[in-house]
Homo-oligomer: A and B are copies of this chain.
Amino acid sequence: MPIKLEGIFPPVPTPFDSDGEILPNKLQANLALWNRTGLHGYVVLGSNGEAVMLTESEKIALWQAARAAIPRDKLFLVGAGLESTRASIALAKRAAESGADAAMFVTPSYYKSTMKPAALIQHYRAIADASPLPTIVYNMPAATALDIDADTVIQLAEHPNIIGIKDSSGNVAKYAHIVRAVRPDFSVLAGSGGYAYPALCVGAQGAVAALANVAPRECVALYDAFRAGRHNDARALQLRLVQLNAAVTTRWSVPGLKAALEELNQGFYGGPPRRPLLPLAEADRAALRQVMRDAGII
């Protein structure tokens, strides 16, 4: 049965101990808590999962742990994009063996001057041809300094095994351009909770949002309000959450996200990021708490 990308998906952080070792059981414990909140699925090893920090065997261990903790009625998405096409395909196969439902591939970007539409198109088509999993394009300009354009996405959407894009550009005009041009079952997912509601308004079908880790019920409520046509409710939630979203993304990045999980005091494991990411400084943590209070989540 084909999967449909719809709803709110947190890109879950990867728990490390104080020596930097992965803690798959903490990931499972976190998932058990999130499972109670109405989220529609998870992205395991996206940017917020510190995928670029992990070895292949660590990735597989985390995916296997996640698979065991994610109910079958929620989507289990993974980040499997690497710089080379062949390595991305190989990792997608590992993800499939680990039980994932679909795989996201961030745009290659190291040789960014060469990553023109033709290069990106052959990259994603080769992946989609070879991957046992449905393929999702992942656009993340803040990390890659590369922004895939609408025309390239529209061409990619012609491939039956490319089912959507997570786009973290925040360029809602681009989302509208894509939505108008692609087949109905190709999903655009907003890449952040800071513009989830306006993205839905122009036809996005959901969001992959770091915010959904720390405010899962609020994000799902925003989505449900939009789907029910309760636009005033959706807008109110969006305005209430926009600064909290910034806190766990652009302002303090993964260290902010992990600290926010801890500050919730709901049993989530945050823990330190892997170096060179530095744990949130204490002064920033105090400011984070204030943002969380302002958003009404603590």
**Which of A55, A114, A242, A254 has the largest number of chain B CB atoms within 10 A?**
A242
Expressed in whole angstroms, the Cα–Cα distance for A180 and B291 within the complex equals 14
**Contact B142 A84, beta carbon cutoff 8 Å:** no
Expressed in whole angstroms, the Cα–Cα distance for A250 and B197 within the complex equals 25
Q: Give the interface SS of chain A, mostly helix, strand, loop or mixed.
A: helix
**Contact A278 B122, beta carbon cutoff 8 Å:** yes
Counted per complex, copies of this chain come to 4
Is A170 among interface residues, defined by CB-CB distance under 8 A?
yes
A156 CB to closest chain B CB, in angstroms?
A: 13
Contacts of A202 in B (CB 8 A): 195, 197-198, 235, 238-239
Expressed in whole angstroms, the Cα–Cα distance for A163 and B199 within the complex equals 27
Is A183 among interface residues, defined by CB-CB distance under 8 A?
no
> Which residue of chain B lies nearest to A85 when distances are taken between CB atoms in the complex?
B275
> Which residue of chain B lies nearest to A106 when distances are taken between CB atoms in the complex?
B110
Q: Which of B176, B201, B229, B253 contacts A194 (CB 8 A)?
A: B176
Is A113 among interface residues, defined by CB-CB distance under 8 A?
yes
**Which of A87, A179, A192, A277 has the largest number of chain B CB atoms within 10 A?**
A277
Expressed in whole angstroms, the Cα–Cα distance for A126 and B277 within the complex equals 13
Is A60 among interface residues, defined by CB-CB distance under 8 A?
no
> Which residue of chain B lies nearest to A243 when distances are taken between CB atoms in the complex?
B177
Contacts of A245 in B (CB 8 A): 173
**With contacts A84-B52, A235-B201, A275-B85 known, is A171 near B170, CB below 8 A?**
yes
**With contacts A201-B197, A276-B115 known, is A173 near B170, CB below 8 A?**
yes
Contacts of A142 in B (CB 8 A): 112-113
Q: Which of B108, B170, B198, B274 contacts A199 (CB 8 A)?
A: B198
Contacts of A203 in B (CB 8 A): 235, 239
A249 CB to closest chain B CB, in angstroms?
A: 9
Expressed in whole angstroms, the Cα–Cα distance for A197 and B194 within the complex equals 16
Q: Assuming A110-B143, A119-B278, A173-B194, what are 7 further A-B pairs, CB within 8 angstroms?
A: A111-B143, A111-B254, A114-B253, A114-B254, A115-B276, A120-B276, A173-B245
7 intermolecular pairs with C-beta atoms under 8 Å apart: A85-B276, A119-B278, A120-B276, A126-B275, A173-B192, A176-B195, A202-B235
